Structure 1
Amino acid sequence: MATGRQIVMTGLLSIPLWLAAAFLLYWPSDADPKSIPHPIGWSGSKDETKDPSTSNFWKHVDLKSQEIPETVTKRSASIKVKESVLSVDNVQVFYREAQSEGESSAHISILLLHGAAFSSETWLHLGTIQILAAMGYRTVAIDVPGYGKSSLADISDHGEFLNHVIKALDLKRPVVVSPSMSGTYALPYLLKHSEEMGGYIPVAPVGTGILERQSCASSQTEEDQLASVCESLRKFLKPPLPNLSCIKTPTLVVFGEYDRGKHSALLCLLPRSQAAEIPEGRHPAYLDNPKLWHKLLYNFLGHAAQLAAKSQ
């Protein structure tokens, strides 16, 4: 018969085994599409640089900190991309859509726009649609009216047209990826519907003059402290600077090393913005380093999804 001492010793020896089992049970698996980066100090942190609901978090967050898991990369090869046409405001909008067959993140969705020399096909060939879907996000890439396979149309309000596209596609908390020309659609949408967005990823967009005419009713705080990467763009900012303090959408400003300019500099004034420069990148910087581009998306979207989940 076991003595009391033996029972106690057996109980103590079993504790590490229970702890190990609990660790394995609750540790997120890379195979799960929702295994996205969790912001450090998410719960109850008083440090604003660790709380994604604050501007300081986005100005200091490292969007190169985590590599895309190999399981996500492998899964992307099997993602099926569907094609369809949607009628919005009497415009035939062609789009491509992909979503992982497994459980996906319901907190945000991704809308890919494109520049004047490109179309939704660019994101297909680059693999961006597939890898975003493999990360667990519903991903849609459209051909802007007059480009690709979408019909030509005279649209008076680009921002509201984009809003109608998003509603027709039933995109929840969309993160809008907006290179170059598509800024004429995304920026007006941002100013009117920022609270509905899960995030914004401009890549040297045109049309940023609309930001210079923006003046938030809220008082301007000392938001002219820029994320470190944005400091290389400060010389393009001339006073008076616009008050953008009321636009709280998490924003990833992407630009190429050979394409620094005022457009990206103005976007760095958004209070929840972080920036990334693509080394030796041109205007379509994502084409010059797809691996880095997708890594930036992976890290940014992980934090954006967590913030969207918290706000729901």
Structure 2
Amino acid sequence: MRTGVKLFVGVGLVCLWLLLTISGIIQFPEIGGIIKDMAHLTKSSDKINWKTVNLYSIDLPESAKEAKNNVVISQNTVKVMDVKVFYREAKPPDSVTATGQSVLLLHGRSFSSETWEKIETLRLLAALGYRVIAVDLPGYGNTHDKLTGDRGEFLLSLLQALDLLKSRPVVVSPSMSGEYSVTFLKEHSSKLAGYIPVAPVATNSVPPSVLEKIQVPTLIVYGSEDNTGLAEAALKNLKVMPNSREVKLEQAGHPAYLNQPDVFHKLVYNFMLLLK
């Protein structure tokens, strides 16, 4: 009888421990990581219809909104193709479990890495468990050197220099930065987990026959009030990508993430969850 009771209590304690580990209430790195990895593998095996997937289904957790206040943003430089590149980096605070995912934030002609700090993208994404880096592209912000080489190869070298290729990052590419990201896609799309173009330039620089074969999940974001013509061109050219999803941000202009940062952050969060 006593043996049966002890066995019952033991099994109950193990079940409770597993429940607390999975939920993140207690931390046990090795076993907890294995369990979460198994969950991710199961999820990733599901077929996602990117053309119709709901990217508004999950709200940003309140815990992340609080944890972002504890995120530290560091500043540094790295040499890439003779260009001294300035960047800002944010990592998950101690209270947040890292997902192993990473995000590289590029910028448009009128902006820089500072933009992503001002609208709290760096802090919020780090508070969600991601490693996040925002760079000043050559000739902008605190990156004073100009680039003379191929922009797609520069982006590849930048990802290598920042040690982002191991995690297969998601690249966010607004406007002017399309000169780097779109040409990069042509040769190196398999090195990315995801791509988020925001009305980028140069979308006609890669033939549709090539874009049709690129499998990387792509979230095409544009503003309803974008009158530059770039949003229309991006939609026309990039929607042929088989795993792309177009999302229009209402009451937003060309830099749609600036006008609707909360909506943009929610979209990115839901996109990242599907990539696990």
Settle same-fold status: TM greater than 0.5.
yes
User: Following TM superposition, by how much is the alpha carbon of 1:156 offset from its aligned partner in structure 2, in angstroms?
Assistant: 3.1
User: Following TM superposition, by how much is the alpha carbon of 1:215 offset from its aligned partner in structure 2, in angstroms?
Assistant: 2.6
Q: d(CA) in 2 for partners of 1:171 and 1:122?
A: 21
User: Following TM superposition, by how much is the alpha carbon of 1:64 offset from its aligned partner in structure 2, in angstroms?
Assistant: 0.3
Aligned letter for 1:250?
Answer: P
User: Following TM superposition, by how much is the alpha carbon of 1:250 offset from its aligned partner in structure 2, in angstroms?
Assistant: 0.8
Change (3 A) 1:254 1:66: same
Match of residue 222 from structure 2: 255
Match of residue 287 from structure 1: 258
Match of residue 91 from structure 1: 83
**Alignment partner of 2:189: what SS?**
helix
**Alignment partner of 1:291: what SS?**
helix
Post-superposition CA distance 1:66-85 (Å, at most 9, x none) = 00111111111110000011
Match of residue 72 from structure 1: 64
Q: Would you identify which runs of 4 or more consecutive aligned residues in structure 1 move more than 2 Å?
A: 17-32, 41-44, 213-216
**Alignment partner of 1:191: what SS?**
helix
Q: Which moved more, 1:177-186 or 1:131-140?
A: 131-140
Aligned letter for 2:105?
Answer: L
Q: d(CA) in 2 for partners of 1:109 and 1:192?
A: 20
User: Following TM superposition, by how much is the alpha carbon of 1:43 offset from its aligned partner in structure 2, in angstroms?
Assistant: 7.5
User: Following TM superposition, by how much is the alpha carbon of 1:120 offset from its aligned partner in structure 2, in angstroms?
Assistant: 0.2
Match of residue 200 from structure 2: 205
Task: Output aligned runs, 1:115-264, within 5 Å.
Answer: 115-172=108-165, 173-211=168-206, 213-216=207-210, 244-259=211-226, 260-264=231-235
Q: d(CA) in 2 for partners of 1:299 and 1:30?
A: 23
Match of residue 51 from structure 1: 47
Percent of pairs with identical residues: 40
Q: d(CA) in 2 for partners of 1:281 and 1:51?
A: 32
Match of residue 99 from structure 2: 105
User: Following TM superposition, by how much is the alpha carbon of 1:280 offset from its aligned partner in structure 2, in angstroms?
Assistant: 0.8
Q: Are 1:265 and 2:236 matched, yes or no?
A: yes
Aligned letter for 1:98?
Answer: A
**Alignment partner of 2:268: what SS?**
helix
Q: d(CA) in 1 for partners of 2:164 and 2:17?
A: 36
Q: d(CA) in 1 for partners of 2:15 and 2:247?
A: 38
Q: d(CA) in 1 for partners of 2:271 and 2:150?
A: 29
User: Following TM superposition, by how much is the alpha carbon of 1:27 offset from its aligned partner in structure 2, in angstroms?
Assistant: 4.8
**Contact 2:223–2:250 (Cα < 8 Å) also in 1:** yes
Aligned letter for 2:179?
Answer: T
Match of residue 225 from structure 1: none
Unaligned runs of 5+ in 1: 3-7, 45-49, 217-243, 307-312
Q: TM-score, normalised by structure 2?
A: 0.83
User: Following TM superposition, by how much is the alpha carbon of 1:269 offset from its aligned partner in structure 2, in angstroms?
Assistant: 1.5
User: Following TM superposition, by how much is the alpha carbon of 1:28 offset from its aligned partner in structure 2, in angstroms?
Assistant: 3.0
Q: d(CA) in 2 for partners of 1:73 and 1:19?
A: 32
User: Following TM superposition, by how much is the alpha carbon of 1:196 offset from its aligned partner in structure 2, in angstroms?
Assistant: 0.8
Q: Which moved more, 1:93-102 or 1:279-288?
A: 93-102
Change (3 A) 1:148 1:26: same
User: Following TM superposition, by how much is the alpha carbon of 1:290 offset from its aligned partner in structure 2, in angstroms?
Assistant: 0.9
Aligned letter for 1:64?
Answer: Y
Q: TM-score, normalised by structure 1?
A: 0.74
Q: Which one has a bigger Cα radius of gyration?
A: 1
Match of residue 47 from structure 1: none
Unaligned runs of 5+ in 2: 28-32
**Contact 1:160–1:189 (Cα < 8 Å) also in 2:** yes
Name whichever structure is richer in helix by fraction: 2
Post-superposition CA distance 1:124-148 (Å, at most 9, x none) = 0000011111111111100010000
Aligned letter for 2:119?
Answer: L
Q: d(CA) in 2 for partners of 1:72 and 1:161?
A: 33
Q: d(CA) in 1 for partners of 2:44 and 2:272?
A: 19
